[in-house]
Amino acid sequence: MEFYFEKVNTSLDKKIVADDMLLTKGIPTTAGSRMLDGYVSLFEAEVLTRLTNAGYGLCGKASVGELAIDLLGETSYKGACVDENGKILNPVAEIIKSGDAMAGICLDANGYVRRAAAQYGLVSVKPTYGTVSRFGMIPVACSGDCVSVMAESASACRDILDAMAGHDDKDGTSLPESKCALLKKSAPVVEIKRVAVITDMLCCDDTVNSAVNSLVAKLEADGIKVDRIENDLIKKSRNAWNILMSAELCNNVSRYDGVKYGYRSNNFTSIDELYTNSRTEAFGDFLKAAILFGSDTLSTENYMRVYDKALRVRRLICEEFGKLFKEYDAVLMPACSAMAYSIDAVRANKDMPYTENLYTAPASITGLPAVAFEGVQLICNYFNETSLLALCEKLEKEGK
């Protein structure tokens, strides 16, 4: 089974793998879509430049699901990676587990990075929106797209975050350096003392529930106060995020027309047929469904009723988290509904990426930082991710 999309030779010790959403110069970037088969960018992702300058060596590009909106990468045009029991495998996590790379640099558009880290016993951090440049990322849902790190340990995540966070003039939503500096290793760490578990989000299977319970026990043993609270607003993130993500995605992929680069159908007699047949042949079913849904949310008829409402829900959820962070240092919730997905279940229920993101949508829609590990994720206030990673590091040490 090929987890790599492209392998690269590097002599450097600190090897990283990038998912195929990060543009690389001289190496193809496909976003997991036949539409970009053979596409080689003229420029490279800013994060890769920064990591190279910090002494990290790119050992390869990992396969990714089409436009990174699926569960774990199963919609890649190269085919799904599954084991002999039909369990879906994630290429980035597999490459890290194999020891080829110490970390993966990935685009978290719809939560796949957090799900993979949580299911593989790895650690991932999705930093505060705007602290890591999106320059050179294949755009999916620009208002939530976030370069994330997946690694063996929390300290590796901190090291990489330190190297890649920072203001970038090439990204208009990049925050000022003074804010980005809060993610550096030199920035002070706040001790996590109070954690809220949102009971409305605990609709997951026993394996994940017990992961949540065991983490709560560990936190309490460390003297952290854990409250189980009810909140029925946070879970509405999912529907709102599905609207925003699909609409932005639809807009972002409309540039792929088979004319300028990427895949072109051989079967056309007019320019309109060239567009239609290229897109029909190159896009996968799940992406097509997302395009149709996204396009519909933006129609004149639906805009106020659907898209604008989702924007208003986003604002309410941001405010809701703001209130929670007055009382708590972090919010704990599952990262996925189960510790493994079977390819058969996903094929039977094509909507799964739109339901399973119940857990990942809250941090995506708000741009809040999230750390995922062992079935769970912790979400904290903006710029506090290093505090979460410090807590995670402490738990790792206690576990050993």
Which chain residues interact with another protein by CB under 8 A?
23, 31, 41-43, 45, 134-139, 142-143, 169-173, 247-248, 251-252, 254-255, 257, 259-261, 271, 275, 295, 298-300, 303, 307, 311
Please identify, using beta-carbon distances, which residue of 124 and 133 lies nearer to another protein: 133
Alpha-carbon distance of 158 to 149, in angstroms, equals: 9
The least distance separating another protein from the CB of residue 244, rounded to whole angstroms, comes to 9
Alpha-carbon distance of 326 to 334, in angstroms, equals: 22
Alpha-carbon distance of 90 to 335, in angstroms, equals: 15
The least distance separating another protein from the CB of residue 239, rounded to whole angstroms, comes to 17
The SS3 call for residue 164 is helix
The least distance separating another protein from the CB of residue 265, rounded to whole angstroms, comes to 16
Alpha-carbon distance of 210 to 371, in angstroms, equals: 18
Please identify, using beta-carbon distances, which residue of 281 and 296 lies nearer to another protein: 296
Please identify, using beta-carbon distances, which residue of 241 and 373 lies nearer to another protein: 241
The least distance separating another protein from the CB of residue 157, rounded to whole angstroms, comes to 24
Question: What's the token pair of residue 160?
Answer: 């990489």
Please identify, using beta-carbon distances, which residue of 248 and 393 lies nearer to another protein: 248
The least distance separating another protein from the CB of residue 44, rounded to whole angstroms, comes to 9
Alpha-carbon distance of 328 to 194, in angstroms, equals: 5
Strand boundaries in the chain, DSSP class E: 4-7, 14-19, 56-62, 103-108, 123-126, 146-151, 194-198, 225-229, 330-334, 370-373, 376-380
Alpha-carbon distance of 111 to 249, in angstroms, equals: 15
The least distance separating another protein from the CB of residue 12, rounded to whole angstroms, comes to 24
Please identify, using beta-carbon distances, which residue of 294 and 334 lies nearer to another protein: 294
Q: At what angle do helices 237-253 and 308-327 cross, to 10 degrees?
A: 130
| CA-to-CA separations, 199 to 15, 229, 261, in angstroms, rounded | 39, 6, 48
Please identify, using beta-carbon distances, which residue of 284 and 334 lies nearer to another protein: 284
